[in-house]
Amino acid sequence: MTNTEIIETLRARLSLPGGRHLYGVLGSYDLLSRFAGQLAKAKSVEGQQFPKAISVNRGILDTIPDDEFRKLVNDEAKRPEPTAAHVASAFEQFIRSKLAGQGLIVLKDLELVFSYHLELNLLRTLAADQDRILLLLPGKRERGGVILFLDSDHGSYTLPTNLIADNNLWELRS
């Protein structure tokens, strides 16, 4: 789909009052960046400007105090579970703080979420009624699923099949 087609479809979906509102856009980093820029210039059905995309990586790192983060990094090789739990807690705290009364948040840069194998059902649970989430995901549909981070040296990831409804997940075409 083109940027315009996705934005128009998203506008229509966001005008629905209740239910689950977790959406995703797939594409290369470059295509996602261009889409985010065009989305931020568009207006909703109510005439409000769409929000700018927020970096999840930056949000997680900003949530963890620097001294605490240094200690987690130093101890991670010996004990990775506490680090993953701390990152998961920071992720939840970040998402909840950004959703509070915003209506829609657009999230980009989710590499930490996937590298620490964080639970993604939090997104589906929180994206309901007036709280809406749009994920910008570097990936594509492949072999009946969604493969993310195809160009990564650390391997790709598969998006859980039930996370985002198929009709709420769009793939950008150049």
Token digits of residue 7 = 């934005």
Give the mean model confidence (pLDDT) for residues 86-104. 90
Q: For residues 119 and 114, what is the distance between their CA atoms, to the nearest angstrom? A: 9
Cα separations (Å) of 97 from 85, 119, 131? Answer: 18, 18, 12
Q: Residues 56, 110: contact at Cβ < 8 Å? A: yes
Token pair 């040296």: residue: 153
- Among 111, 70, 64, 65, which residue's Cα sits nearest to residue 87? 64
Give the mean model confidence (pLDDT) for residues 18-25. 88
Q: What is the pLDDT of residues 27-76, one digit of tens each?
A: 999 999 999 999 999 998 888 899 999 999 999 999 988 888 788 778 77
Give the mean model confidence (pLDDT) for residues 111-137. 91
Residue 164 pLDDT grade (very low, low, confident, very high; cuts 50, 70, 90): very high
Give the mean model confidence (pLDDT) for residues 107-125. 92
Residue 18 has pLDDT above 80, yes or no: no
Token digits of residue 49 = 């400007």
What share of the chain has pLDDT > 70, as a percent? Answer: 99
Residue 138: CB partners within 8 Å, gap ≥ 6?
26, 27, 28, 29, 32, 148, 149, 150, 151
State the pLDDT at residue 132.
93
Residue 77 has pLDDT above 80, yes or no: no
Residue 59: CB partners within 8 Å, gap ≥ 6?
90, 91, 94, 95, 98
Residue 128 has pLDDT above 90, yes or no: no
Give the mean model confidence (pLDDT) for residues 130-136. 93
